[in-house]
Every structure is written in C-alpha cells, then in structure tokens.
Structure 1
Amino acid sequence: MKQNVNHRMVADGVSPPTKSYKVKKYDSYGSSMDSVPIDCIELASSMGKQHDTPHMNHSFIKSSSSCSASASPSPSPSPSTTTSLLHSYFAAEANEFKDKQETRNDEVNALNEEDDTDLSFHKSIFEFSCSSITTTPSSTKLSYWQTCFHLISFMIGSGLLCLPLALVEIEWTGLLLLVLAGLVNMYTSKLLIQALDVVRWSSGKNVFFSDLGRECFGKFGAISTATLVYVSLIINCSGYLGLAASFIVGITDFQHYTVLLMLSICVWTHAFAKSLKSLAVFSALNVALCLWMEAVIVGDAMYPLKQLALEQSAFVYETPDLSNAPIYLKLAYSFSLLASGFVSHIIVPSFYNSMEDTRKCTSAVTKSQFGVLMLMYLPICGISYAVYGPNMEAPVVFNMRSTFVRNLTIVLYSTHLLLSYSITLFPVQGAFEAYLVQQERKSVKYRSNYEQMVPQLPGRLESVTDSAQNLTFWKKLVCRSVLILMTMLFSNWFLPSTLDVFAFMLIPSMLLSLVLPCLFYWKLCQEEAGCLDVLAIIFVLALAVSATACTLTIVI
C-alpha cells in the first residue's frame, strides 16, 4: 500500500518525504544486532545496479521493503531494484559477521584443546585406545547383559566369602546392615549415572571420573579424582593376587613366590584382550563360578555332619578385637565391611561409555547390585552364621567339613579372583595405553610436518606411520606387563596382613561409592533435586563420614 501511494505522489509531481530509517541487522543465525540508520535513497544511488539474489531471511525483506517506500523524486530507482540492492548489502554484512564469528570460535576451540591437553592422561581413564585404532566403535559396544556380567564379576570379588565375618560382632543385626548398605549403594549409583548424563549431553563426549571432578572442582578435582581411581584399582588387583596365592599355597607344597609368579603369568594372558566386550565371556564364566561356589558352600553348611575345621589356616584374615568396643564402633566397622561388597562405582563410567544404550545403564547397575544382594550375599551370610555361629572364620571356606569340598571351593574361588583381576586392571591399562597412543600420534604428526618441509623420497611418510603403529603395540604390551608386575610386588608386600589392604581401601571405596556421587549430583543437578533427594544425600554423607571415621579409629 505504501508503494502505491509513493507512485501516485511521483506521478502528480510531488516528491515523497525523504527520511532515514533504522534498519536492523541480523547475524547468520537470525538474531538481532544493533540498529543501523541508513538513508535508503543515498544507499541505492551509491551502490549501483546489482543483480545478485542471495538467500535472506524474512527480517531483511521487511527492512528493505520499508526502505523502498521512501523513493527520491528524480531520478529514482524502481522499488524492486532498491530491494535487491539492500538484500545484497545486508547479505554481505551478514557474511562478514559470520566469518568473524567463526574465526572467534576457532580461537576458543584452540584454547580449549590446549587446556584439555594438560589433563589428557587423567581424562583417558577407562578408555582403551586399541578400540579406536584397530576396531570400529560399534564392534566394542557392550550389550545389557554383558554389562551386568561385568558388574557382578567386579562387585563380588573378595566380598563373597569375607562378608559373613561382619555378623560375628553384631549377630543378626548384620543382615539389616547388609540390606542398608545395598540400598545406599544403589541410590548413589543412580546419582552418579545422572551426573554422567548431564556432562555427557552437555559435552557430547565420553565422560569419566576426571571429567566429573573437573566440572565440579576444577583442575585439582580432576587430577585428585583420577589418582584416587588409579590407586583404588591397583590396590584391588594386589589384594586379589594376594588372596589367590595364599589359598593355593594352603592346599599345595609350593612356595609363595612360585605361586605368585604362576598366577601373574595366568593373568598376563588377558593382555591381548582388545576391549571390555572381549572380556564379557570371562565375566559370564565368573558369574557361573560364583553360583557354583554358593551352592557348594550352602550345601556343605547344611549337610548334617560334625564340623571339621582346619587345624591351621593357610590364610590369616586379621581382624581387629572388638570384644570391649562400644556398640556404635561395632556397627560402623560392620557397615564399612558390608558396604565394600557393593562398590562398583569406580568402574561404572567405563561401562557407561561402552554400552550400546546408555539409558539402560542405571537399570543394569541397580539390578546387578540387587541380584548380588538377594541371590548371593544374604544366603551366604545368613546360612554361614546360622551354622557356624561366633566361631566362624573368614573366608568361609576354612569352616568347611570335607577336605575335598574345601579344596574344590578354594580352587574355584582362586579362579574367580583371577577373573575379577582381569576386569579390575583393564581400565588402568586402557588409561596408560591411551596416553601412550596420544603421545605417539603427536610425535608422528610432528614428523610428518617436518618431512613436508624437507623433500624426501616418495613413500617415506607411510613407513613412519607403519612403524609408529608397531611401536604402539609393543608399548601397550610392555605397559600391561609393568602393571601386572607392580600388582605382584604389592600383593607380596600386603601378604602378612589383609587388615592393611582393608585400611588402604576404606577411604577410597567410601569416597568413590558414597561421598563423590552425592557431591557430583549436588553440583551438577542441584536444580532437579527434590526434598527427598536433599534429605537422602545428607543422610548418606553423614553415614559415610561417621562410619569411615569410626572404622579408621578401630583399624589404626
């Protein structure tokens, strides 16, 4: 309508009023920028005729249409020409702003990459580099049941036969504490996975414990969390080797160092596994061994024969004397011992990143912990204490009547510990190997850039890349061997007393399973937390701190 009025005014010899309009500029995303005053007639006459028709959004068309309403008396370009010229001008401005924005984003990304390089070693926890080099990501994904097998195999560990000892001090109250420990660990596992979801969807990358620590507590939190994870896994592996070696020494005439070396060679065979999916078969076998051991233990305990205990136990499970301790210290010590049987949080990020569907991770962890509680821990603890009473020894195999059945259970349990060792050490190996591969790639990239500057014979660059891949494989093999040797030395150091192992693992297990999941959830998901979540988090933190403090008082 305005254009028709302007044409009639020109035809009658009357010039329409010349006026400057404030035209809004928009960036490439359609967001409004500063309003720029433009004299439409001067702009049209100075730019000349152009026939470009760039793609513009509707805001540009509206602005140019309003400008075309103010035409000069003589000579005056047609309204369509003015609109086309304004389209071209605003398109050029938008493209220039877009280029500047992309340049700024590139600079920010470069700075972020420099910051990530400092924590590359800690961020590589639970990340196996072979999967990104030799296999496709889809071929290394874990199914729902494979994840459950891994979790059960990792959780049970030494707790399968040592948890009944908690009932000796507090009697049947220990079963209630066992249920409480299981429920608390299920809840904190849920909190941990929700925190992983938040960071994963915000960053679009795999999330590890170090990422959660950095998001919540900065660089120091990332380094501290990653170090805590490494130390905990290595101590666990050392304890597994020490338990298995002591059991085998008790039923054979071999020396302890010989048995320890043989077991280290056995666990070294898993060094050729490429991913967690390739170890799923061993985890499934491990779960079957646990069910077999449970059947043997329960059957032997319920068999109506006179108890024939060992005259001298091959393995001494040293425990503190709580005969004169107050009841709250006994409860705290028993809860700490029972809660250690459900610690799977340390390896949950590894399975979370490796699952085909991460939405099922919460269900897999919760059902695995509930299944271990109801099908393994409660029957073994209840029946063992009902049969053997306060004279029960730990592990429970030392209370068995038949020598043949006892030796069979010891062999099964030692095999179970070795299979658990493979799952436990695998994340540490992946972390070291990912770091080595990253350094190798940087070295190859530097050499390739240097050879592009200096003329070389054709094919020289391919040979460097091939040798780098072969060197990486040998580095991985050496890295795994060094880690296994380290755990073997630690297990020999911890041999005289399992109480030392429990004391060293007490604080890391409590932090990783109870304290840190609550803190991560509170820092990242505080807005989504309801009143019940707040009360539950306060209860869990108070329980963890008090139980840890009381247990350390007893142990130290």
Structure 2
Amino acid sequence: MTEEERRSAIDDGESCFEEDEKARGDDRTTGSFLHAVINMLGMLIGLGQLSTPYALENGGWASTFLLVGIGSVCAYTSCLLGKCMHKNPKSRDYKDIGHDAFGSKGRIIATTFIYLEIFMALVSYTISLHDNLANVFTAFTLSSAHLSASQLLVLIAVLVALPSLWLRDLSSISFLSSAGILLSLLIFTSVAYTAVSGAIRAHRYIPVLHLSKIPAISGLYMFSFAGHIVFPNLYNSMNDPSKFTKVSIVSFSMVTVMYTALGFMGAKMFGPQVSSQITLSMPRNLVVTKIALWATVLTPMTKYALEFAPFAMQLEQSLPPSFKSRTRMIIRGTVGSILLLTILVLALSVPYFEHVLSLTGSLVSVGICIIFPCAFYTRIFWRQISTPLMLFNLMIIAFGATLGAFGTFSSSRSLIISLQRGHTS
C-alpha cells in the first residue's frame, strides 16, 4: 500500500475520535467497556442540555415521555448501527453503512446529512457563544458602526479559536474533545447546585401539556440525542464490539436521566421565564453562574476544530498527491477559516438559538439518528429479519418522518416569524 493510499484510508473517518484511536497505534486498552461508555456520553452530552429546561417548560411535564421515548428509540437505532457494522467488518463509518445498504446513493445521502448536521450545529454553537459572552463581559461597551458590543465579542472569540482549525496534531484535537466533555458536565453541576443549594426556590408550576408546542420542542429533544454519526467509529475502537449494545443502553439511560433531571430543575426554578439556554436564566450574582457561563462560552471554542475535522479530512483526501505537507496545511487552514467566518456571519444574522437548534434536530438529526439506521438495517438484513421486526422498524421510520416533518414546519415557521420581527424592529 502506498503512502497516499494509507493516508486516504485513515482520513476517510467521521471524527477525531477515530483519528485519535489510530494515532495510538491500535491501543486496544482504550477500547474497554468503561472507556466506550465515557466516549459515548461525551458524544451525547453537549449543546442540547442547555435547552432541555426550556423545552420541558414549554411542552409541559408530560413531554418528558417524548424525551424518554426519543432517547429509547435513539438507543435502539444505535444498536442497529452496531449490528450493521458486525454484518460487514470492512465498514469503518456511518457512510460505509449507507453504502452497504443502498450503494453509492446511500453514501451520498448519508454524507450530505452528516455535513449538514455539523454545519448547522456549529451555527448553533456560535449563537450560544454570542448569547453567553454578553453576560460574561457585561462591562464591555465597545462597538462599531456595523457591530454591537456582543457581536464584537463573538468575533474576537471566533478569531481566538480560528488557529485551532489549522491543527493537524491529533493529541491536541483529542485534548479539545476531553475539555468539551468536562465543560458540559460543569454546566450540569452548576445548574444542579443552584437548585439543590436553595439559591433559587424551585417552586414554579409546570403545566401538564402544551400540545401545540410539541412539534417545536421535539426538535430540541431530538438534537439532544444526536451522536450517531460517530457511533460506528466507537464500535470499531472497542476490543469487544459484542458489548456495544450494552454500551448504548447504559449511555443513553444515563443521558436521559440527566436531561430529565436538568429539565425539571430548570423549569421548576424559572417557570415561564426560563431562557432557551438555562445558563442565561441563572442569577448573575452567584459564583456558580459565572462558572456555568464561562463553561458555556468555552464549549463552542473547543468544538470548532472537532466538528471541522471531517471536512478537513475529505478535503486533504481530494488534493493531488503531489501537494506538499505545508501546502496541504495552508489549504486546510484557509478553507476552515473561511467556513468558520461564514458560520459566524450566519449566526449573527440568525441569532435565534432555540429555533435553529430545533430546526437542526427536526430536519437533519431525526434522519441520522432514527430514519436512516432503521432503513439501513432493514435493507441490509432484508432476508434475515422477521416480519414483526420489519414492521417495527417501519413504524419507527414513520414515527421519525412524522416527527421530523411537523418539527421542521413548526421550527421553520417560528424562525421566519422571529426574523421578520427582528427586521421590523
């Protein structure tokens, strides 16, 4: 195998997690059950936790059944991806499963949705960065003719994070991944401490159900469990892939419990006044609030290099073999910088966190996490699965499609209305 072929095989990955595993020289001690659970938790815990209290308060406490239901379905579809990987040991990532099921069309569709989810998630991260930075630097008053103080702050933050897109060192990117996980846990701990310590009385009334708001919040719940694009990489990293199903069950159970607890704590503390990002509702005079805000600000800055990695890998793979390493780095960094600045402009133009996140979950994540895994599994195991199981998978596909359609319509409508109001004001 030539050097270029070896690099192509390595670069055809979906995440830095896969790259990190290869950089360790196939160190199978990192593929233990506990390590796999920690990695899956890290993939699942993220931006979605900020909006869970807002979603629960708006949907009513009965909407937790939808939250648990979506979490259960996503755990099931995660297991289906593992079975598809077991069927074809040569499969390396989510795109390969799509190819095994539906050929080149399946690969193209999977790739399109993967990159669309990454792009929209980065827009949401940047909106979150913008919203929380304004609360961290309350004394910052500098502005320009075209940018407000908060917009200047997020511009500075993005410029600070920009060099991370030039990283090729896998250990540095792995460090960013670990930092993101710790920051997410820090946010949850801060909210939990605020509720438990009695700093705010958790006595607000939570309505039973707001049926009209269910389509919109379903997208928020859906995004909270989005992580399936890297599960095949996690499967390949395990020294005992037969335990992947147990890893999925344990990880999704823990995340679902955490989201439910966070949702109830936020909704009980702040009621109808709860923000679409729980950190924005917390009292400014508390130390834990400052910790949570800083954690929320730093989280997006750790995500840019991680989320850009798949684009960078595909870009380098498509470059001519004659290009030198320095040339590849310059092209990679330049394209990444342009992409990040484009995301920044879009985030500042559409500063509506809950609507963008809901649209991402309903339009893209529902396909990647629910519809596609069931469709891939059914197609690959067409001659082997029983009729009841086939019907069950078709029911889940229909459930996902319905959830996605209504959620996309509702979140798109809300986003358009907000844009119109913002333009008018």
Deviates more, 1:221-230 or 1:279-288: 279-288
The 1:388–1:532 alpha-carbon spacing in structure 2 relative to 1, beyond 3 Å, is: farther
User: For 2:293, which of 403, 410, 413 is the aligned residue?
Assistant: 410
| Aligned twin of 1:207 | 92
| Aligned twin of 2:278 | 396
User: For 2:101, which of 216, 222, 233 is the aligned residue?
Assistant: 216
Deviation at 1:127, TM superposition (A): 7.0
Deviation at 1:373, TM superposition (A): 1.6
User: For 2:79, which of 190, 194, 209 is the aligned residue?
Assistant: 190
Q: How does 1:255-270 map to 2 (within 5 A)?
A: 255-270=149-164
| Aligned twin of 2:40 | 151
Amino acid at match of 1:167: L
Deviation at 1:519, TM superposition (A): 0.2
The 1:177–1:275 alpha-carbon spacing in structure 2 relative to 1, beyond 3 Å, is: farther
Amino acid at match of 1:194: K
Q: Does 1:343 align with 2:226?
A: yes
| Aligned twin of 1:29 | none
| Aligned twin of 1:124 | 12
The 1:271–1:356 alpha-carbon spacing in structure 2 relative to 1, beyond 3 Å, is: farther
Distance 1:341 1:182 in 2: 9
TM-score by length of 2: 0.78
Deviates more, 1:474-483 or 1:291-300: 474-483
Superposed CA offset, 1:436-482 (max 9, x none): 2xx32xxx4xxxxxxxxxxxxxxxxxxxxxx7344333333334333
Q: Does 1:516 align with 2:401?
A: no
Contact 2:370/2:400 (8 A) holds in 1? yes
Report % sequence identity: 18
Question: Does the residue aligned with 1:157 lie in a helix, a strand or coil?
Answer: coil
Question: Does the residue aligned with 2:26 lie in a helix, a strand or coil?
Answer: helix
TM-score by length of 1: 0.61
Count of aligned pairs between the two proteins:
387
User: For 2:191, which of 297, 301, 306 is the aligned residue?
Assistant: 297
Deviation at 1:515, TM superposition (A): 0.2
Q: Does 1:288 align with 2:182?
A: yes
The 1:328–1:547 alpha-carbon spacing in structure 2 relative to 1, beyond 3 Å, is: farther
Q: How does 1:104-503 map to 2 (within 5 A)?
A: 124=12, 126=14, 137-138=25-26, 143-144=31-32, 147-199=36-88, 201=89, 204=90, 206-252=91-137, 253=140, 255-271=149-165, 273-274=167-168, 279-304=173-198, 328-355=211-238, 358-374=241-257, 376-405=258-287, 406-436=289-319, 439-440=320-321, 444=322, 468-495=324-351, 498-503=354-359
The 1:542–1:275 alpha-carbon spacing in structure 2 relative to 1, beyond 3 Å, is: farther
Superposed CA offset, 1:350-402 (max 9, x none): 4344555544444444433222222x212211222233333433212233235
Deviation at 1:498, TM superposition (A): 4.4
Distance 1:269 1:346 in 2: 25
Contact 1:149/1:280 (8 A) holds in 2? no
Question: Does the residue aligned with 1:393 lie in a helix, a strand or coil?
Answer: coil
Contact 1:149/1:284 (8 A) holds in 2? no
Deviation at 1:186, TM superposition (A): 0.2
Q: CA RMSD in A?
A: 3.5
Superposed CA offset, 1:207-248 (max 9, x none): 333333333333233222212211211111121122112210
Amino acid at match of 2:31: S
Deviation at 1:537, TM superposition (A): 1.2
Question: Does the residue aligned with 2:275 lie in a helix, a strand or coil?
Answer: coil
Unpaired runs of at least 5, structure 1? 1-115, 309-322, 445-466
Deviation at 1:276, TM superposition (A): 5.9
Deviation at 1:546, TM superposition (A): 1.7
The 1:273–1:303 alpha-carbon spacing in structure 2 relative to 1, beyond 3 Å, is: same
Deviation at 1:136, TM superposition (A): 7.3
Unpaired runs of at least 5, structure 2? 143-148, 414-425
Distance 2:342 2:290 in 1: 29
Contact 1:189/1:366 (8 A) holds in 2? no
Contact 2:166/2:332 (8 A) holds in 1? no
Deviation at 1:416, TM superposition (A): 2.4
Contact 2:124/2:356 (8 A) holds in 1? no
The 1:328–1:302 alpha-carbon spacing in structure 2 relative to 1, beyond 3 Å, is: same
Deviation at 1:524, TM superposition (A): 0.3
Distance 2:55 2:339 in 1: 32
Deviation at 1:169, TM superposition (A): 3.2
Superposed CA offset, 1:162-214 (max 9, x none): 01122223322122222111111100111122123323x2xx3x433333333
The 1:356–1:183 alpha-carbon spacing in structure 2 relative to 1, beyond 3 Å, is: same
Distance 2:197 2:12 in 1: 51
> Which protein is bigger by CA-based radius of gyration?
1
User: For 2:400, which of 526, 530, 544 is the aligned residue?
Assistant: 544
Contact 1:155/1:342 (8 A) holds in 2? yes
